[in-house]
A and B are shown apart, each in its own frame.
Chain A
Amino acid sequence: MRYALLVQGAPYSSQASHSALRFAQAVVARGHRLDTVFFYHDGVYNAARLAAPPQDEPHLGDAWRALHNEHGTELLVCIAAALRRGLLDEREASRHGKPGHSVEPPFELTGLGQLVEAGLSHDRLITFSP
């Protein structure tokens, strides 16, 4: 089956990101395709490239990147929710005259239409909220 996930909780604030990642790993281990993880609401903070959690805690950002590298899962971040919260990729940072960027590939800033598209075109959409 083709799965998509919607993640709406900020990492380390709620369990939502951990639950989503754990489920993601189980889905691909069972041979399903996890095409898309869409980050919305406070879930967009999962894309913060400067996150520096203590070394004895799971690094969620690295884990999402590993999921992308190993399974081709696209990591889509709602651009409207991200910009409001200070999460800008290089292009948006330059467009807004900011001195640095806070999001980098494989996380991609994208429109909400991609969430709707993911929900309608996949066999399953599973939501993890705070």
Chain B
Amino acid sequence: MILHLLNRSPATGGTVDDALAAMGPDDRLLLIEDGVLGALPAQVARFTGLTGRLFALREDLAARGLLERCEEQANIVDVDGFVTLTEEADKTVSWS
């Protein structure tokens, strides 16, 4: 299982599509930095099919004032949760 990191907003640019195309059926996706915009209700439909495998970094959401606007489909993790996700994955691949 690979942990993919996405730090670009899915609302601008195609990096999100590159990441999704490379994801296997068990892989996980963690949204960080501007990637956390993907956890907004208007964006989260892009990640249908990632139920239980979509994560977003709490502090990047909070810093952007988005913490209360997140869709439930994204699991919110803090930075310790980020470390745990890297422990549980065989490797990580960053998309930027």
A-B interface pairs (CB < 8 A), number = 45
A30 touching B80 by the CB < 8 A rule? yes
Interface status of B47 (Cβ within 8 A of chain A): no
Interface status of A66 (Cβ within 8 A of chain B): no
B83 touching A32 by the CB < 8 A rule? yes
Interface size for A (C-beta < 8 A) is 19
Interface of A is mostly: mixed
Given the known inter-chain contacts A15-B33, A19-B7, please indicate yes or no for A126 contacting B79, CB distance below 8 A. no
Given contacts A22-B79, A26-B83, 17 further A-B contacts (CB under 8 A): A1-B87, A3-B86, A15-B33, A16-B7, A19-B33, A23-B79, A26-B80, A29-B80, A30-B83, A32-B83, A124-B92, A126-B92, A127-B5, A127-B93, A128-B7, A129-B7, A129-B94
Residues in B neighbouring A26, C-beta threshold 8 A: 79-80, 82-83
A100 to chain B, nearest CB (A): 33
B86 touching A124 by the CB < 8 A rule? yes
B65 to chain A, nearest CB (A): 16
